[in-house]
Amino acid sequence: MIGEDVDQEFKDLFVEDAAIRLDRMSEQLLELERSPGTAELLTSLCREAHSLKGAAGMVGFHDVASVAHALENPLQEVLLGEREVDGTLVDALLAGVDGLRAVVAVSPADPARAARSAVEVIARLAAIAVPKGSPAVRPADAVHNVPAAPISTPRPVEVATMQIALERLDEIDRVVGESAAAHLRVGRLISEEYDADPESVAEYRELARLLTALQELTIRARMVTLSTITPNLHRAVRDVARAGAKKVRWIVDGGETEIDRKILELLLDPLIHLVRNAVDHGIEKPAERLAAGKPAEATVRLTARQRGSEIVLTVADDGHGIDVARVKAAAERSGMDVSGLSDRDVENLIFTAHVSTATEVTEISGRGVGLDVVRANIERLRGRAEVSSRPGQGTEFTVTVPITLAIVECLLVESGGQRFALPIASVLSLLPREAREQRVAGQPMLTVGDSAVPVSDLASTLELGEPDAGPIVVVSGAHATHAFRVQRLVGHRDLVIKGLGGLLPRIGALGGAAIEPDGSIVVVLDPDGLIESARGARSVGPATPRAPVQMPTIMVVDDAITVRELERSILERAGYRVRVATNGQEALGLLQSEPSDLVLTDLEMPVMDGIALTETIRKHPSMGRTPVVILTSHDSDAERRRGLEAGANAYIIKSGFDQQRLLSAVEQLLLGGRS
């Protein structure tokens, strides 16, 4: 079992995740009381209990798993029509949820007390069992017949908010930074004065943990909800609609989504541009809409949701869609070769400078600024912008940005004796030092996937002297791909990146800097600037298309954050690149924009479950052969058969889960797929 040696962070993550699920269950139970016949509510409640059980088992909280199981039973009975929903049942289930909350709360620190509490909660739930006698439930390692102290069940209070001056937050950031530095000094003191490894001192480790938590909290304190800017967008929609004599309904979905205040500020302009564009170019006049059989009033909908460490925003209208032929014509006029491009690719050309400015510029949304500027602004936030449209039905712009700019996963390399960080998102692949270069018209090139990519050495590009002769990092910028030889690879690191500040001029290849745990500073390279520097003096060659990713990428799909993060950490430690999704549909969306080499999915999830996901992948023309591994808490033969029949390549059970089994299954499937 993995449970015993699970990192503390996953236990913490579980506690956080469980709190959200339990709140949701309480709400759903209250709703169930009002409308007892709702099957959806029941399935959702069962799923929450089930997910809790699975995640608890994985982090080794077996008492929590037992209580979750005991909660699941009566719900199953209702679902099967064996019992009615009444006040007594809802009372008992609510008490059970509160009891489970208490068990979760004490599990990390006091397992014995958790076990006692679990026995009591389970006993109370068993008391309401239907007479025919449901299977006896007992906690896995619980001490029996111990009269426990009454469990306190703190209810969450409503979220209270207060305003705080930004300078104060900055001040807190600074002090947190100073504390981290002081912590390192204490570490040095311990090793110098007492000749001891600071990491062996429990108090020192505890302080480190607290400081990290504090740092995360300060980052979280900078988050604001999307709804802080939606009034501005609503106003823009209204103004443009009035000016064009159009009727538009404005809808916001996910206004409560949280995002870094700085990013949101920088997103405002691009979003305003997109909604104005939607009303002005996308939506028809009322008469035209009526003639097309659409309601006179059009809809512009802004949706926002979190997907892993990213926020996905869409601006969708139900207007006439993008005129692909016209975009094509505009692109051709500006000298582009559009033959062989799909309609989707053509649509996305509206983000390129010549095309966006060549299409009709109206006084309202055009203002001489094209969608190319929108895209550039979003890319500056390490985000991306895409568009898709259906003729006659509407256009949807999708903007994806990181939740916070602060923490970026980076690859650390050494060049010219100095360490540098590269945002991992820009690293296409890594090649061994032996990779063969070939000189083409004086420029060393090498093959990456199907394309030839120019190679430079990082030290020379950065004017650091002696050329590097080590392994190769293939870097993909917004417009070009370039390979760099480095001295050596150091590893992965999550870095809190800071800008270089206003006192310094912009230095092309450099994007920022971050402080390493030992107090040293690592310079973060800017992929686009770096590529530009490398190509600088030379004649600029044609931009190479994005080559396929070489490091195996695994898509992890699970609605429980604990499971997701646990799997992510195991896989990343083994060297894989990992992307995550919370349900099948989200996973499909991500896979369609960029395929993964393997999919690891849970079975039961909201929106789209693992079976449906597996089936959809199998039927898909291009990713039909992607290996799928199902990891679930169901261990019945029927479920296993269902999973394998849907086309899964492997089926792993959470309760018997160990890292090695997962890794060897993944490794075998990846090797099989490549041969």
Footprint (CB under 8 A) of other proteins, residues 545-574: none
Q: Cα–Cα distance between 596 and 627 in angstroms, integer?
A: 9
Which strands form 481-485's sheet, in the order they lie side by side? 427-431, 472-476, 481-485, 451-457, 443-448, 438-440
Q: How many residues bind other proteins (CB under 8 A)?
A: 33
Among residues 257, 281, 241, 523, the alpha carbon closest in space to that of 397 is found at 281
Q: How far is the CB of 383 from other proteins (least distance, A)?
A: 24
Q: What is the DSSP letter of 349?
A: G
SS3 454: strand
Beta strands (DSSP E) in 268-317 are 298-307, 310-317
Q: Cα–Cα distance between 601 and 651 in angstroms, integer?
A: 10
According to CB under 8 A, which one of 156, 391, 517, 519 is a site residue for other proteins?
Answer: 519
For position 174 contacting other proteins by CB under 8 A, the verdict is: yes
For position 523 contacting other proteins by CB under 8 A, the verdict is: yes
Q: Characterize the bridge pairing of strands 488-496 and 510-515.
A: unpaired
For position 533 contacting other proteins by CB under 8 A, the verdict is: yes
Q: Binding string, 119-158, against other proteins, x = CB under 8 A? A: ----------------------------------------
411 by Cβ neighbours in 10 Å (0-12 / 13-18 / 19+) ranks as buried
Q: How far is the CB of 275 from other proteins (least distance, A)?
A: 36
For position 176 contacting other proteins by CB under 8 A, the verdict is: yes
Q: How far is the CB of 313 from other proteins (least distance, A)?
A: 31
Angle at 57 between CA 52 and CA 63, to 5 degrees: 85
Taking each helix axis from N to C end, the angle separating 62-79 and 111-127, rounded to the nearest 10 degrees, works out to: 20
For position 422 contacting other proteins by CB under 8 A, the verdict is: no
Yes or no: say if 565 and 13 are a contact pair by the CB < 8 Å rule: yes
Q: Which residues of 355-381 are buried (b: 16+ CB within 10 A; e: fewer)?
A: bbbbbeeeebbbeeebbbbbbebbbeb
For position 251 contacting other proteins by CB under 8 A, the verdict is: no
Residue 530 backbone dihedrals phi, psi, to 5 degrees: -65, -45
Q: Binding string, 381-420, against other proteins, x = CB under 8 A? A: -----------------------------------x-x--
According to CB under 8 A, which one of 109, 441, 503, 537 is a site residue for other proteins?
Answer: 503
For position 502 contacting other proteins by CB under 8 A, the verdict is: yes
Q: Which is nearer to other proteins, 533 or 601 (CB)?
A: 533
For position 181 contacting other proteins by CB under 8 A, the verdict is: yes
For position 515 contacting other proteins by CB under 8 A, the verdict is: yes
Q: Cα–Cα distance between 588 and 616 in angstroms, integer?
A: 8
Q: How far is the CB of 627 from other proteins (least distance, A)?
A: 42
Q: How far is the CB of 180 from other proteins (least distance, A)?
A: 5
Yes or no: say if 485 and 471 are a contact pair by the CB < 8 Å rule: yes
Q: Binding string, 461-490, against other proteins, x = CB under 8 A? A: -xxx--------------------------
According to CB under 8 A, which one of 498, 620, 640, 661 is a site residue for other proteins?
Answer: 498
Q: How far is the CB of 471 from other proteins (least distance, A)?
A: 20
Give the residues lining the site for other proteins (CB under 8 A): 174, 176-182, 416, 418, 462-464, 498, 500-505, 507-510, 513-515, 519-523, 533
